[in-house]
Structure 1
Amino acid sequence: MNGLYQTFAITLMNLRSLPARIGPSLVIVVGIAGVVAVLVSLLSMAKGFSATLNGVSDEGRVVVLRGGSTDEMSSGIGTQQARLIVTKPGVAREDNDALAAGETYVIADIPKRGNESPANLPLRGVEPTSFAVRDEVRIVQGRNIKFGRYELIAGVKAANQFQGLDVGNRLPLRGVDWEVVGLFETGGTIHESETWVDNALLVSNLNRGGGYTSMIVKLESPLDYDQFKQALDDDPQLETNPIRESDYYSGQSEGMTGLIENFGYSVGFVMAIGAVFAALNTMYSAVSTRSVEIATLRALGFGSTPVVISVMVEALVLASLGGAIGAGLAFGFFNGYTASTMGGTFSQVSFDFAVTEDLIVRGILWSLFIGLIGGLVPSIAAARQPVTVALRGM
């Protein structure tokens, strides 16, 4: 008898008998669905956090930090240094003015909505040219700040997470009441988790005597980066660390993204062990209840290989069903869900969970792996059982 036909016949018989074994089958489906739902949900958190920071992807912008610094919080750029930086080759210009801005990045303790405990709200002092350099900024409610006034605009995600950031409110920060005059979007990037104010007023309020924590510079072309960096390195009056903006934020996201992914896989692995044992128990039970059927088929000339394959197919079908349900649950409940966590500068970063296609595929592949392990041993046991021993059970 043709081996392919045998495999098809036994597999079809097994699948047709699933409704009669709905209880044990649901154990596999529900168990694996839970594993995949948790795994995909945790990985979507890492994916969303990474996407928020890596969304700042203009290769033609450079963050200039003090030499030896790796983030804005630990950096400092003097006013005289800033004047020298904007004279370097490769800096883009508009109406003969350099498209560059000195900015000051600090954090403020503001309670989150629904929670009186203070959290770290990012506060960025900006200059008028900041908006020309970051041309993705869009005011979506209210208006932009007027420089020289104690006014503040908030990213939409910061406004959703923190108290007091509604347009028209006055927010006490660093001893001064700042009026919230607008909300802005930047296409879902990390800047939507920040609040922006007049840099000169912020620095004065902080008693820093001028200067910035960093500079943001727009180049004429992304290809000018090496030339610009070399010019900064060659100037003995400067000690700077220029980083492409995309690389800067990518580096900020790596640690947290890796931590979340490792945690997700660890939890998924532990849960998968339980799901494998559930699958083993269910498949052993299924094989045991049909041992006489299997032995009869083998006595009629069916080979052991079709038996192994048929049991494996059944396990994989149940596993893939569980994987699809789990991925669907993760997508339905968590895709687009907004959360916040601590970023690389110890400030709150708001981001949306992102259940992407590759995460769904990853979850279903994980479910198939569980089904493969859970069905392999019972299928081999079914094929190796002596026909005479099984037929005695009749």
Structure 2
Amino acid sequence: MSFLKFILKNPFRRKNSAILAIVGIAIGIIVIVSLGGITEGLINTFEDTIHAGGADFSISGKETGDSAYGTNTIDANWTDKIANVSGVDEAYPIYVVLTSVGDDYMNTLIGIDPNGTTLADISLKDGRIFEDNASEVILGKIYAEDNNYSVGDSIDIKGEEFEVVGIYETGDQNMAGGVFTSISKVGDLMDDEDSISNIYVKVKKGEDPQTVADRIDAEYGENITTVTSVMEMTQMADMLNMLQASTWAISLLAIVVGGLGIINTMLMSVFERTREIGVLKAVGWSDRKILTMIVGESLVITLVSAIIGSLIGYFACTLLGPQMGISPLFTPKIFIQAFTIAIVVGIIGGIYPAIKAVRLPPTEALRYE
């Protein structure tokens, strides 16, 4: 029998001890995989929530000016520059002006690409979104109610007739009474197609908005200003870090518990095989070969435990998670982590018993009954 086959078969000669060791370590692996999947699912859901609706931050002019936001307008080509910054997922320009709308001498007209309305954090309550470069608008619910407008009506904006195609709601008081239309139409009305007021920015999933904002500031800070909610971003980062740290805390506990279990199992194995180890030394086995054998047997037990624990953890979460309202997400990182812990536990759990075996004098081991 080859040395490798000897290591693979030897741990299972004492079936009861091997089964108990495998069950003990597999429970730890089940916990790691299950909580890892649940944690990743929670993080994924949390990121979907914090990145759903509304821009992560906005870009505005550097200095005060005469735009509706009190800053200088900026060139429209800044949109492409911001969109190409690492970590940016979407960038949509808006053009906010104060002009005559309906019977109002001055009201807020907001131009934006129809696809970018989701970043404006508005919720359509009736009708549909306007089409690009069309004489169509959507009105804030407050403005529509105060002026008796509804979907299908016409409204005059700076001498041009626009059709009301939708009514929206928003938590932003600055936009609650405003009017949205295509940014290209605002450019036509103001005879200024090369200027914008702001840029709404949405970062890629998994990116920290503040880090991306700082990246933009570092590259273009002399010309533009990023407007962010630092406190809100810090809270989001803290919550994500807390969720991720919990998995590592549980993993550390599993290493300690599993390590103690495998040390106990392998010590008992060495104790029960004292005479066998003496015979192996007497026939010429080196200390290094005996140490490799004991540690190898320990690794075989922990790797079998990792396979069983990973499978049970995966299927248990997949089947039971949805019934509890949880959507687990399993990534390769979770299983790599589980097997890494199993290997670490196997090595740590086998080293001490292996050293004890190596230090046994052959003559005393042979006399052991």
2:27 equivalent in structure 1: 34
1:241 equivalent in structure 2: 227
Instruction: Say if 1:133 and 1:218, in contact at 8 Å, map to a contact too.
Output: no
CA-CA distance at 1:49 after TM superposition: 4.1
1:23 equivalent in structure 2: 16
1:314-339 deviation per Cα after TM superposition (whole angstroms, max 9, x unaligned): 10111111122222233323369569
Q: Structure 1 residue 87 and structure 2 residue 73: aligned?
A: yes
Instruction: State which of 50, 57, 60 in structure 2 corresponds to 1:63.
Output: 57
2:290 equivalent in structure 1: 307
C-alpha distance in structure 2 between counterparts of 1:311 and 1:376, whole Å: 8
1:198 equivalent in structure 2: 168
| Cα distance, 1:208–1:314 mapped onto 2, change above 3 Å | same
Instruction: State which of 337, 341, 346 in structure 2 corresponds to 1:362.
Output: 337
1:98-118 deviation per Cα after TM superposition (whole angstroms, max 9, x unaligned): 74399xxxxxxxxxxxxxxxx
C-alpha distance in structure 2 between counterparts of 1:81 and 1:339, whole Å: 53
CA-CA distance at 1:230 after TM superposition: 4.6
1:13 equivalent in structure 2: 6
Instruction: Say if 2:43 and 2:243, in contact at 8 Å, map to a contact too.
Output: no
Letter of the structure 1 residue corresponding to residue 305 of structure 2: G
CA-CA distance at 1:366 after TM superposition: 0.6
Letter of the structure 2 residue corresponding to residue 332 of structure 1: F
CA-CA distance at 1:210 after TM superposition: 5.4
Letter of the structure 2 residue corresponding to residue 87 of structure 1: T
Aligned-CA RMSD value: 4.8
Letter of the structure 2 residue corresponding to residue 88 of structure 1: I
Letter of the structure 1 residue corresponding to residue 16 of structure 2: G
Q: Relative contact order (C-alpha < 8 Å, sep 6+): which is higher?
A: 1
Letter of the structure 2 residue corresponding to residue 297 of structure 1: L
Q: Structure 1 residue 371 and structure 2 residue 346: aligned?
A: yes
1:94-105 equivalent positions in 2, closer than 5 A:
99-100=93-94
Unpaired runs of 5+ in structure 2?
61-65, 81-91, 97-109, 120-125, 130-137, 142-166, 179-197, 203-211
CA-CA distance at 1:252 after TM superposition: 5.5
CA-CA distance at 1:313 after TM superposition: 0.4
Higher gyration radius (CA): 2
1:55-82 deviation per Cα after TM superposition (whole angstroms, max 9, x unaligned): 6999xx762399xxxxxxxxxxxxx976
Instruction: Say if 1:338 and 1:352, in contact at 8 Å, map to a contact too.
Output: yes
2:275 equivalent in structure 1: 292
Instruction: Say if 1:45 and 1:352, in contact at 8 Å, map to a contact too.
Output: yes
Instruction: Say if 2:278 and 2:365, in contact at 8 Å, map to a contact too.
Output: yes
Instruction: Say if 2:310 and 2:338, in contact at 8 Å, map to a contact too.
Output: yes
When the two structures are aligned, how many residues end up with a matched partner? 268
| Cα distance, 1:145–1:38 mapped onto 2, change above 3 Å | farther
| Cα distance, 1:278–1:250 mapped onto 2, change above 3 Å | same
The TM-score with structure 1 as length reference comes to 0.54
The TM-score with structure 2 as length reference comes to 0.57
Instruction: Say if 2:34 and 2:317, in contact at 8 Å, map to a contact too.
Output: yes
C-alpha distance in structure 2 between counterparts of 1:332 and 1:249, whole Å: 36
Instruction: State which of 342, 345, 362 in structure 2 corresponds to 1:387.
Output: 362
CA-CA distance at 1:17 after TM superposition: 3.5
Question: Matched residues, percent identical?
Answer: 19
Instruction: Say if 2:59 and 2:199, in contact at 8 Å, map to a contact too.
Output: no
C-alpha distance in structure 2 between counterparts of 1:273 and 1:38, whole Å: 14
CA-CA distance at 1:365 after TM superposition: 0.3
CA-CA distance at 1:44 after TM superposition: 3.2
1:188-229 deviation per Cα after TM superposition (whole angstroms, max 9, x unaligned): xxxxxxxxx9235x567xx99758xxx87159xx99955876
1:216-255 equivalent positions in 2, closer than 5 A:
217=200, 225=216, 230-233=222-225, 241-242=227-228, 253-255=236-238
1:129-157 deviation per Cα after TM superposition (whole angstroms, max 9, x unaligned): 58511679xxxxxx97675698xxxxxxx
C-alpha distance in structure 2 between counterparts of 1:255 and 1:30, whole Å: 36
2:132 equivalent in structure 1: none
CA-CA distance at 1:298 after TM superposition: 0.9
1:259-278 equivalent positions in 2, closer than 5 A:
259-278=242-261
Partner secondary structure for residue 354 of structure 1: coil
CA-CA distance at 1:45 after TM superposition: 3.7
C-alpha distance in structure 2 between counterparts of 1:53 and 1:16, whole Å: 46
2:188 equivalent in structure 1: none
| Cα distance, 1:84–1:228 mapped onto 2, change above 3 Å | farther
Instruction: Say if 2:7 and 2:296, in contact at 8 Å, map to a contact too.
Output: no
1:281 equivalent in structure 2: 264
Instruction: Say if 2:32 and 2:247, in contact at 8 Å, map to a contact too.
Output: yes
Instruction: Say if 2:139 and 2:177, in contact at 8 Å, map to a contact too.
Output: no
Partner secondary structure for residue 199 of structure 1: strand
Letter of the structure 2 residue corresponding to residue 199 of structure 1: E
